[in-house]
Amino acid sequence: MAAVLGGDREQVVGSSDRWCWCSRSRDRVHGPGAARDAIWLAGRGWTVTAVDVSSVALSRAAAHAETAGVAGRIDWQQHELGESFPEGSYDLVSAQFLHSLAELPREEILRAAANAVAPGGTLLIEGHLGFPSWQHEAHPEVPSPKPAEVIEDLRLGEGEWEILVSREHEREQAGPDGEATTRVDCTVKVRRRP
């Protein structure tokens, strides 16, 4: 649950009001910034459904939302996304860094995310393209699809969606010992036609 929107969030999310945020955080420890995007959106009037597999991550995030005064605008839900997904439709569904060493039906999860987008709504997907320079052990079993592959895997209905963003981009990241490294990520943003 890192800085999933980054940069100018207003430009990324637009002006809708129902948001579903999906993350996979098993085996990770979260600090005070863990739910910053859900809290940021709730602070701007959005009703947010925030999803994670980890009850610990959700508890910590809920505590941060309480401190920020937006707890009433965020519905924290625990889901193993390959088995269940939040009900309803949303103006924005954001699926962030769904990579795992454990088996993860990533394409099915992203299709479920697309199905949850309301007419006129947006699906935002972010992922890593490979591993950071400080990680010396390769994991070829972890998918790192390029933007065109993500779009193909979504199986979007012809004429039903507009591709707004499909790109690879570099960003700076700190390694475990604080060393700076450049990481390549993938962003896909599509809008369901009204």
In a domain, 175, yes or no: yes
Residues 40 and 23: their CA atoms lie apart, in Å, by 16
Domain total of the chain: 1
In a domain, 46, yes or no: yes
d(CA 116, CA 118): 6
CATH of the domain at 186: 3.40.50.150
Tell me the pTM: 0.77
Asked, for residue 10, whether it belongs to a domain, the answer is no
Strands 47-52 and 74-78, bridge-based pairing:
parallel
Q: Is the residue at 154 inside a domain?
A: yes
Amino acid identity of 64?
H
Is residue 74 in some structural domain?
Answer: yes
pLDDT of residue 30: 30
DSSP result, 116-136: TEEEEEEEEEEEESS--TT--
Please compute, for residue 49, the number of CA atoms within 13 A of its CA located in the half-sphere on the CB side.
Answer: 20
Quote the pLDDT of residue 120. 93
pLDDT at 154: 96
Classify residue 4: in a domain, yes or no.
Answer: no
Q: What is the pLDDT along the chain (194 residues), one digit of tens a residue?
A: 222 333 333 434 443 444 454 443 332 223 333 477 788 888 888 888 888 878 898 899 999 999 999 999 998 988 887 888 888 888 888 887 776 656 778 889 899 999 999 999 999 998 888 776 767 676 666 668 899 999 999 999 999 999 999 999 888 888 888 888 888 889 999 999 99
**What range defines the domain where residue 89 resides?**
15-192
